[in-house]
Structures are given as C-alpha cells and as structure tokens.
Chain A
C-alpha cells in the first residue's frame, strides 16, 4: 500500500513540474489588447490591429521574444472606454496574458490604464497622445507613450499661419480627451505667436450636423480654422463648410485627415486641407520604405500612422523585454525608461513618467490626391499651396 501511494504522489509531482517547465519553455508569450474594431474609431483601431499583427509575424520570424513565440489576444472594445476596462480586466485576470499593449485612442487608454496599473502590467500605449494620461497624480508607473502628444498636432498649421502673417483663428474640437488637448495646445500656441483666437467651441462625439456651429464660425470670418477632429466629424464638417461656403485661408484637421479614405470620401473637397500626422511612408526613417511595402503586401492596402505606431509600439516593447531579459514588469519598466531607439516610425525616448520626448510630428497638405509633407521645413517634400481658394473659385 505504502509504496504505490508514494509512487503515485511522486509521479504526479513530476508530471506537474514537467508540465509547468514545458509551458514556460515552449508556450507562446501571450500579449493582450482591446482595440476599437467597431464603433466610432473602427477605421483607426483596425489599422493599429494590423500593426500588431505584422509585428507578431515579424517577431516570430526572428524567433519571438526570449525564445518564445509571440501571440496577440485581441478583443473588440467597440470604441467604448467601459468596454475596454472590462476587457483588460478579463485579459489580465481570466486569460492571464503575459503582457498587454495599449488600445486605440486616448479616452480608452485613460480608462484602461487604471486597470493595468492596478495589476502592475507594463503597457506600451502606441496610440494615446494625451499628456494628462502620463502626467498624473498619483503617478502611473507602467505606461509608456510612443507618439507625440496631442498638444502639438496643430502646431504645424498654426506655425505656418503665423509665418504668413495670418491674424485670426477659430478652434473647434470633439469634446473628448485627445481633441480637447489638441485644441488647448493650438490655442496656447496661437496666442504665443500673436494670433487672436476669435471663436472656440466643442461639439459632442458622434456629431454630424455642423450647420449652426459653422454659421457662427462664418460670422467671425477667420483666417484659419483649426479643427481637433477624429474621422467621421472631419468628413462631415468639411462637406458642410462647402455647403455653407465657409472660406478660411487655411483649414486643418487632426486625426482622420491623413487616411486615404479621407480623400476617397471627400474627393476634390479634400484638396488644400492640412492634416497632422505622426508618420508618413516618405519619411526617411530606417527600414520605413521596406516596412511600408511589407504592410501593403500583407493587408492589401496602405498603412496609416496608426498602423505604423502600433507596429513600432510592439517592437519597442519587445526590445524592452529583450534588454530586461525577462517579462517581469519592473525589469521591463526599467529597460523601457532607459531605452533610446529609432524605428521605422521615428525616435523613441521617454522621461521618468513614460512621456514621449523624442518623436516628431509632421504637417501635410492634400494636393492633387496626394499628401505632401509641408512642415517642418527639414522634412518637407513640397511647397504649401496658399491661400486656400474659396469653394466657389475651384
């Protein structure tokens, strides 16, 4: 009786030990994320998702992370922060993923950061551009920023306008975290450059009727309209600007304006519009051209900066793990704080809060169906077409 019992216990113990050893040696590193695959941010969230997918493929082709394959576990948060919170909770507590990456958009990142901080999970957040997410009391320790902050999105537009002697500017924004910060940054900068903000107003998320807002804007007859938008609202606002014959000398939007779909949807009405982007395929970052081609081949359409940032964020996280030599959050955190890296997306270097310092933003203008980078001067591809002609003079 005695011997077989001991034997059984021994075998079981060996089995458990063996199984756990096997798992740690061969199981994939599972990285969880929620992304906006449907809802208001679907277009942008999907591109980010493809960035993650391509990164997974490339990492695995090079042998994965710490010798283990990489596998993304992605859920759809329907562009809603509460859903994101629930999904990160699920990823960490139920799915027990090894690591997490950020969701799409600032509002959702802001919400889910509370969850990832609670469980002390490092989260590289490639598509969160709002300063307040990273500069927060009490301090968030495990979140890392990849793109330039919201406040500088409209910097190029305002800077070019000021250089051309324009005086009055109207600022409008969707009333969400990122857009508010972009609008506030534009307002500060305009005042610093001696311009006058003659009208400023926010509109609710999902708004598609801008008649009354544009009627007010038209009455102020501004030189510049700076709109802190996402995608649907940028399209609707542009169409109604034409309908109501609102004619600023410069008109710029933030997110969404850089998507090929922006031009496909608006056709010729997109001409002369300025947009801000974190990245363009023409920028001379290492491996950028090759990455652009590989992405096109993989997904049969062109990447946007959301795709590129998603990819770069994932590469940066992998580099952090490599330097830390472990998935242990505190070690990865130390490595990411020290890391200075140049990817095909541009530069990465953060301060002690994980706030991005090195990455550069560019401003483009839609000219003859193409985005031409026009600002800053050292990265510019072409000349600005200025001023924007009136709608009825095109």
Chain B
C-alpha cells in the first residue's frame, strides 16, 4: 500500500538522509583510519561508540551536564580506552594475517558488550534533552539531529585538517602509505598506531554521544554501527578518508529514499545492493581505495 509522494516529502527525507549521512561519515572515518594505517577491520568500533554513548548518558544523568558539553569528555575517555586497547591487545595482530585481527577485535567487541550489559544492565536509557524540531515551511528539522549534524561536520572537518596539515597528521598518512618508509624516516610507527586507534575511538565516542541524544541507548546499540561503518568505507573506498564522508552521505540518502519510495524493510536491501554494484563496477570504492 503506498501513498502519493509529493516533492515536499522527498525534500523531507533528503534532509533526514543528509543529517544522518554526515554522522555515518564521521563514525566511519574512525574505522577508515584504523584500516588505512593498521590494515585492521575493527569490529569493536560500534561497541566503542556504545561506550561513548554511555559516558554521555551518565554525565548527563548524574551531574545534569548539557549532553553536548559531554561530547569532548566522551571523546577524551574513549581516546584513552582506544590507546590502552592498542597498547595491550591490538598491537599484537598488526602484522598477523587478517583473520587474527578480525578474531581479536570481534572478541573485544563481545567482551565490551557483555561487560556493558553487566555494568549498565540492558535497560533502555535515554538522554531526554532536546526533543522536537524546528519547522521551516513544509520541512521539519529535528533539533537533536541538526545539532548532531553540526558537531559531526565540524569534527570531520577538524579531522581532515589535522590529517592534512599537522606534523602528526602527516605522520599518520605517511604510515598509512608505507609503514617501512615511515619508519626509515624516523616516525615512531608504534606511537602512530596508538594515536590512530585512540583518535578512531574518539570519533566513535563522539558519534555515540550525539546518538544518545537522538535515540534511546542500550549495550547492543553498537553492532549495527560497525556494519554501517563497514558498508560506508567500502562504498567510499577502504582507507580513503574523504571517501568515508562521501560513503556516509550516500548511505544516509539511499536508506531514506528507499524507505520513502519502497518500504522501510527494503531500505537495507537497497543499501547492500548498492554495495554489490559499487564492488562490481569499482572494486576499490567510489573514490578509490588505499594504494598498495
């Protein structure tokens, strides 16, 4: 059963798609960074996002902090968690066959989700801070989603500037291009790996903090974000950083438009069909993958 679709409705879902697309892009950028620099698919990316969401929830509910002020705190906390994870576990699998890193991060993911279930219970929690929307003509702009969009856009831009123009950022990109040459040039590759893992976790945490204001959270919220981020970086080109943003926007739009013109159920199918098409036509993703 379908309704007559008007241009205003299309406009509304394009708005929704772009708003969530940038968020997808930011979260996926974290996954792309780790893949680019360390050649690891971090399955625990989503659960790290979940921890960021809980950090925001607890700061909000315990101290009444404005949840948007907790975004940097969540990022800092998860940066440290990320560095520690790299330091203790992940560094062991950097040069190992791909299966080892998949297994390890999968294990970390299970451990994090179960620890969260024990510590936080599986009750649904919500940061009931900003509900409602701004109405502009026929369009509604969800307040929490618009602010998440602004944060995500700013953080993504910040990450690009950092990678492009700072010494550390250049060192990260150098390591991602060729670890051996970077090492020869005097870059401490181990430190770069830790930094990368920390940064990626911080980006996930920012996503989690922003999502916590949009929807209710629970310990298993993260896994779907691992899948979405993976989809996004394959669409955009694995290890290609601007590609992550493009892939995120594309996924956001495709999901929403497919839900509008087809059904909500088919939107996921459409997203994965798109993935298959991209892999058939451009196996390295839309913007091309990391050079090998």
- Tell me the A residues contacting B by CB distance below 8 Å: 37-40, 42-43, 46, 175, 197-204, 206-213, 215-216, 219-220, 231-232, 235-236, 239-240, 242-245, 261, 265-267, 269, 391
Contact = CB atoms under 8 A, between A and B. Distances in A.
B188 interface: no
A243 B142 contact: yes
Contacts of B125: 265
Nearest to A206: B224
A49 B50 CA distance: 26
Contacts of A267: 128
Contacts of A39: 122, 220
Contact of B124 (A201, A240, A265): A265
B131 A242 contact: yes
A276 B8 CA distance: 35
Contacts, number: 114
Given A198-B3, A243-B142, 5 more contacts: A43-B122, A210-B264, A211-B259, A216-B260, A243-B143
B96 to A, nearest CB: 30
30 contacts: A42-B123, A43-B123, A46-B122, A197-B1, A199-B3, A200-B1, A201-B1, A201-B264, A202-B263, A203-B265, A204-B268, A206-B224, A211-B12, A211-B16, A211-B256, A212-B257, A212-B260, A213-B264, A215-B13, A235-B215, A236-B216, A243-B143, A243-B144, A244-B140, A265-B124, A265-B125, A265-B126, A265-B216, A269-B131, A391-B132
Contact of B132 (A38, A220, A242): A242
Interface string B250-274: 0000011101100111011000000
Contacts of B3: 198-199, 216, 219-220
B291 interface: no
B260 A261 contact: no
B131 A243 contact: yes
Contact of A245 (B123, B133, B224): B133
B152 to A, nearest CB: 16
Contacts of B260: 212, 215-216
A216 B142 CA distance: 17
Interface in B60-96: none
Nearest to A203: B264
A215 B264 CA distance: 12
Contact of A211 (B13, B126, B144, B263): B13
A188 to B, nearest CB: 15
A304 B215 CA distance: 23
A97 B29 CA distance: 51
B56 to A, nearest CB: 16
A86 B133 CA distance: 46
Q: Sorted from nearest, which 7 A-B pairs have the closest CB atoms?
A: A212-B259, A211-B16, A42-B122, A203-B264, A243-B142, A212-B260, A243-B133
Nearest to B256: A212
A39 B122 CA distance: 8
B20 interface: yes
Contacts of A37: 122
Given A212-B256, A243-B142, A232 B268 contact: no
B273 to A, nearest CB: 15
Nearest to A217: B3
A44 to B, nearest CB: 11
B20 A209 contact: yes
Nearest to A220: B3
Nearest to A391: B132
Given A245-B133, A391-B132, A232 B218 contact: yes
A39 B124 CA distance: 11
B131 A204 contact: no
B264 A207 contact: yes
A39 B224 CA distance: 13
Nearest to B132: A242
Of B144, B255, B265, most buried by chain A (CB within 10 Å of CB) is B265
Given A175-B265, A202-B265, A38 B142 contact: no
B117 interface: yes
A251 B13 CA distance: 23
B4 interface: yes
Nearest to A208: B215
Given A215-B12, A219-B9, A244 B133 contact: yes
A207 B267 CA distance: 11
Contacts of B257: 212
B6 A219 contact: yes
Contacts of A212: 13, 16, 256-257, 259-260, 264, 267
A39 B3 CA distance: 34
B135 interface: yes
Contacts of A197: 1
Nearest to B261: A212
A232 B124 contact: yes
